[in-house]
Structure 1
Amino acid sequence: MKRSRSLVGLLSAFAWGGLSGCTSSGQPEPELTSQAQAVSGKHLFQEALPGTNGRSCATCHVMDEDTALRPQNVAARLALNPEDPLFHRIDSDDPAAPVPTYEHLKKGLVRVVLPLPANMDVIDVQGQVITPPDRRISVWRGVPSIADTALTGPYLSDGRATTLQAQAHAALRDHSQGGDVGPHVLDRIADFERGVFTSGRARFVAALAGQGVPLAQIPVPEDFMALTPQEQRGRDVYAVACSACHGGATTTHITRPEVHAFFFSSLQPDGNVRYTPVPGQGPVRVQVPHPNDGFLPVGFSFFSYMGQLGLFPTYNASVALPRYRFRFYTDGMRQHPVTELPPLPVTASGEPLDLNPALDANGAPIAGPSLAPQWFTTDPGRALITGDPLDFESFDMPSLRGIARTAPYFHDNSFETLEQVVDVYSQFTLPLNPTINLPPVHPPQAPGAPPEALSPTQKADLLSFLQRL
C-alpha cells in the first residue's frame, strides 16, 4: 500500500506540474539528496580538486549549457582566455606540438585514451600487428550531458563505467590528471549528478524507479503531455520511427528486440558478413542475436569514416580522426585469431573508395559489419570494452529527452544539427531495417540523395516533438 499511495501522489504531482525536479541548470534536488549533500556535490562538481590540472567536472560539462560541451562555448572560451583549464595539452590536436592547437576541441571533442582488451591487436592494412607498447589507443568523442543519469547506466557512450562513481573517478584521473579520490567525494558528485534532470518528466520516472517500480510499469510521461497539433503528429512519428530503440519510460530502453537483433551479423574469419543461400530469395545475411544489450552498431562510425575521406559532409570531417584496424583473438594470449575488422575492402569497381561492395560467387556482398567497403574505423566503440567483434562500432542508445539542447550529435559529434540527424535517419537508417517497416517510399529531398522513409511533413512534425521532448 505504501508504494501505491506514493505512485498516486507522484502521478497527481506530475499532472499538476508539481514535479519540477532539478533541471540541467544544476539546481539542487532535495527530494533525491539532502540539502547538504546537494550543495557539497555541486561544489565538488564545479571546483577543481587538489592535485589536478585545474579542470573540474564542470570544465567540460558546462553548467549553464545543459552540462554538455558545445563547440560555440569552446570557441568563445579560447578567444577569451587561452589559459582556461579546458585548453590543456592532453586535448590539443597534437600534445607534442611546440604550440598546441585545439581544432578537435572546437568541434566539442575530447581525447579519450583506452586500454586494448587482452584479446585484441591493432593491425595495418597488410595485417601486421602495430599495437602500441602500452596497449592503449585514443579516440575523439563528444562530451555527453549528465542530465537524467539517474535513469541510465552503464555510463559513457561505450558503457565502460558501471556506476556514476566509477565514471567520475575515471574522469578525474584521465581528464583532470588527478590521483585517487576518496569514496565520499565520488559519492557526493554522484549524488549531485543523480539530481540533474532535463525535465520534470524525467524526474517523475526516476522517482518511481527509485521506489522500485519496474520500468515496464512506469507510465510514459510523454503520453500525457499537452502538445500542439504538430507536436502530437510528431509524437506519432516518434512512436513509429524512434520508440523501438528509444522507447519506454526512460527513452533509453530498447522495446523491440527484433529491431536490435537486425543490426548484428555473423562474421567470417576475414571479417566479412556471413550470408546463406535461400531458395527463392538469394543470399540472406546471417544475423546473430545479441540479447540483454543496450548498445547498437547503427552505422554512425561509418559516416565519420566517409567524412574523413571527403565522401560525406560530416561535422567532424575537418579534423583528423584515428584510422584503426583490429584483429580479435579467442583469448588474451592472442595466439588464435577470430576475425579482423574492418575487413579489407573488395569493391565492385576495383576502385579503393568505391562504396559498392563486390559480390561473391553466390551474389552476396563482400563487406564487413557496416555492409559497405571500409578501410578503417575512427572508433571501434564498445568492442574496446568487451573484446567482442559483435560490439564493433556499437554505442549506447542515449536518452532523447532534452536532445534539442545538446548539439552536436552522436559519439563523435558527426552531425551538427537535429535536422541533419533526422535527415540521415530518414535516408539511411530507417529504410535499411525492415523490422521497423518504414520503407523508402518518399522522393529524395535533394539532388543525388536517396529516397526517404519519412516525408518532409513527418520530419518537420518529428522535429517539433523532439524540441519539446
Structure 2
Amino acid sequence: MIRKMILGTATAAFAAAVAFAQGGEKDPWWNPDEGRVFPAQLDYRNANGTLRLLLDDGPMETKDHPFFTAIGPNGRACVTCHQPADAMSLSAASAARQWQRHGAADPLFAASDGSNCPTLPQGERASHSLLIDHGLIRIARPWPPKNVTPDFTIEVVRDPSTCNLDPKYGLKSAGMVSVFRRPRPVANFKYIEAMGFAYDPKAGMPLPVDPDTGKPVSGNLMADGRVPTLEAQMRDAAGAHLGFLENLDKRDIARILDFERRIYAAQQIDAVGGPLDGDGSMGGTKTLQVSQAGRLGSDGGIPVWSEFEAWEKMPEAVKAKLSPEVRAFRESVARGARVFRDKTFLITDTAGINSPIGFGNPVRNSCVFCHNMSYMGMDVAPGQVDLGTTNQPFADPAPHLPLFRITCKGPPHPHYGRTILTSDPGFALTTGKCADVGRITLQSLRGMSARAPFFSNGSAKDIRGVIDYYERRYNIGYTEQEKRDLENLMRAL
C-alpha cells in the first residue's frame, strides 16, 4: 500500500512539473531581475512532499537586490544556481527543464562554467551535458595553486569534457584544472558558520582565519576549502560564475549576507507521512529557525535527529488516529534516526578520519561520527574528508567525468600509495598536498528531497544511492529494512 502511495505521489509530482512548464501553476524557477517578493514562508512541492523555506523578518523585496539581480555580463544572478525550489541549490532536474525551455540562451548555461568547456559549440546539448544530466558546474582551479609548491604532479588520463586538454583552457596551456561539482545549498547558515571546535581535528591544525577580521572561521563552506568566509565566497563566485568585471561593493556584500543568514530550508511535509512537525515531532523548518546552532549530539548536546524520537514513542491513542501508512512511515523515520546514530561499522582508509592525525585505522563508529550537528547532520568539526567518492578504487564509475593521475613526489599517500586516479583532487587543489587528494568538505543533509543528485560530483543520483554507496564503501551490513528506514529519514529532513 505504501509503495502504491509513493508511486502515486511521484506521478503527481511529474504532473505538477508538467503544469509548471505549461503555465498551469506559478513557475518555481526564479529568473534574475524578476522583482518578485520573497515571502516569509515559501513552499514548493517535490516528489517526496513539500519543501519549506522560512525567511526571518520576511517578506523581502528582491527588485534590485544583488542576490536576485544580474549584475554581471552573462545574465546570471546568485539565484540562478541557488534556486529556492531546490533548497537553495540546483537540482539536475531543474537544469534539464531549463535547457528544454530555453536551450543555451538561458543564463544558467553560460559558456564559462555552465558548459563542459567554453570552446565547445554552445548551442548543442552535448556541450552542457554535465550540467543538464548531472547538475554539475565547471570549477576551474589554477595549477599549481598560488603561493604553494605542490608535492605531487597531476596529468590528464581521460577528458570527456575536453577542457583539461583544451588549447586555451587546459592544464598544459593555461595552467587550469577543470573539475565538476554540485552547487552547495545557500541556506541554514546559522549552522554552517557555527564554531564547533577551536581547531581542525581532521588535520590537527589551527582553524582557518578570516583575513579581514583576524578571527577563526568554521571552515565548512566550500567543497575544497579554497576560501574561508561567505564574503570571500561571494567574491570568488562573482568572478568565476557571474562574470563580474569588478568586485562586489561592500553594500552589495552586506545585503547578500543579510539574506543568506536569514533563509532556512527543510522538508516540511512528506507525501506519505504528512506534516513533519506533527504528533510531537520537532521536524520541519521551524525547528531550524528557533533552535540553538551548532550543538554536537555526541558531546552532551541534543542527539542528531532526536527531533523524531516522539514518533518512535507514540502513545497508542495517537497511533489510533493515524492511517496505517502514516504510522508506518513515521515509525520508519524514527528507526532510521536510531540506525543513523547507533549502528556502528569500521571506517577505513579515509583521510580526514584515519589520517593525518588519525583516530585509528580502522576506527569503529556510526554515521554521527561525521554527521553530528543537531538538526542539520553536517559535521560540527571543520575540515575535509575523503569518502572515496572521487578516488579509485572506491569511486563509482563515472565515464562522463575527467580522470587525473596524481603522483606523489614526496611520501606516498597514507591510503592509496604513490599514484592515485581521481576525478577531482578536491582539497589538494587548494593545499597542493598529496595527502589531501579527494578530501571534500561535508555538508548539510537538509532539503535532500529537493536537490538531487548528491555528493560533490553528483555520483549518487538519489537518496538511496547515498546509502548504497556507504554500504559498499565501508561494508556496513545494513539490512533492507535499515536501508528503507534511512531513506525515509533523509527524505524527511
Separation of aligned partners in 2, 1:391 and 1:98: 35
SS at match of 1:232: helix
Give the 5 Å matches for 1:106-121: 106=132, 107-115=134-142, 116-117=144-145, 118-120=148-150
Whether 1:182 aligns to 2:249 is yes
CA shift in 2, pair 1:89/1:403, >3 Å: same
Choose which of 378, 385, 388 in structure 2 pairs with 1:299: 388
Conservation of the 8 A alpha-carbon contact between 2:467 and 2:483: yes
Look up the match of 2:172.
132
CA shift in 2, pair 1:409/1:42, >3 Å: farther
Look up the match of 1:235.
337
Q: Which moved more, 1:400-409 or 1:456-465?
A: 400-409
By how many angstroms is 1:405 displaced?
A: 2.4
Separation of aligned partners in 1, 2:394 and 2:302: 40
Deviation digits for residues 166-203 of structure 1 (CA, Å, limit 9, x no counterpart): 21221121111102111221121121111221247666
Separation of aligned partners in 2, 1:42 and 1:66: 22
Conservation of the 8 A alpha-carbon contact between 1:22 and 1:195: no
Separation of aligned partners in 2, 1:52 and 1:340: 45
By how many angstroms is 1:150 displaced?
A: 2.5
TM-score (norm 2): 0.61
CA shift in 2, pair 1:234/1:147, >3 Å: same
Give the 5 Å matches for 1:217-232: 218-220=301-303, 222-225=305-308, 226-227=310-311, 228-232=330-334
Choose which of 313, 318, 338 in structure 1 pairs with 2:410: 338
Can you give the 5+ residue segments of structure 1 that lack an aligned partner in the other structure? 1-19, 256-291, 329-336, 342-367, 432-437, 439-452
Structure in which a larger fraction of residues adopt strand: 2
Look up the match of 2:442.
397
TM-score (norm 1): 0.64
Residue identity (%): 25
SS at match of 1:239: helix
Choose which of 348, 369, 378 in structure 2 pairs with 1:244: 369
Give the 5 Å matches for 1:159-308: 159-178=225-244, 179-199=246-266, 204=287, 209=292, 218-220=301-303, 222-225=305-308, 226-227=310-311, 228-240=330-342, 241-249=366-374, 251-252=376-377, 254=379, 293-302=382-391, 307=396
CA shift in 2, pair 1:123/1:406, >3 Å: closer
Choose which of 30, 37, 54 in structure 1 pairs with 2:75: 54
Conservation of the 8 A alpha-carbon contact between 2:453 and 2:461: yes
Instruction: Give aligned pairs, total.
Output: 339
SS at match of 2:178: strand
Aligned AA for 1:245?
A: C
Conservation of the 8 A alpha-carbon contact between 1:122 and 1:324: no
Conservation of the 8 A alpha-carbon contact between 1:41 and 1:188: no
Aligned AA for 1:394?
A: R
Aligned AA for 2:70?
A: A
CA shift in 2, pair 1:223/1:305, >3 Å: closer
Separation of aligned partners in 2, 1:230 and 1:203: 22
Give the 5 Å matches for 1:62-141: 62-82=83-103, 83-90=105-112, 91-100=114-123, 101-106=127-132, 107-115=134-142, 116-117=144-145, 118-120=148-150, 122-124=153-155, 132=172, 134-141=174-181
CA shift in 2, pair 1:41/1:412, >3 Å: farther
Separation of aligned partners in 1, 2:375 and 2:431: 25
Conservation of the 8 A alpha-carbon contact between 1:395 and 1:411: yes
Superposed CA RMSD in Å reads 3.4
Aligned AA for 1:93?
A: N
CA shift in 2, pair 1:163/1:25, >3 Å: farther
Aligned AA for 2:338?
A: D
Q: Which runs of 4+ in 1 moved over 4 A?
A: 20-27, 200-210, 212-218, 252-255, 303-307
Whether 1:457 aligns to 2:478 is no
SS at match of 1:338: coil
Deviation digits for residues 10-54 of structure 1 (CA, Å, limit 9, x no counterpart): xxxxxxxxxx98877655311xxxx59x546993212211x3311
Deviation digits for residues 342-389 of structure 1 (CA, Å, limit 9, x no counterpart): xxxxxxxxxxxxxxxxxxxxxxxxxx7358x97621101111122232
By how many angstroms is 1:411 displaced?
A: 0.4
Look up the match of 2:357.
none
Aligned AA for 1:247?
A: N
CA radius of gyration, larger in:
1
Conservation of the 8 A alpha-carbon contact between 1:28 and 1:39: no
Aligned AA for 2:410?
A: V
Q: Which moved more, 1:243-252 or 1:380-389?
A: 243-252
SS at match of 1:186: helix
SS at match of 1:81: helix
Conservation of the 8 A alpha-carbon contact between 1:152 and 1:252: no
Separation of aligned partners in 2, 1:303 and 1:202: 38
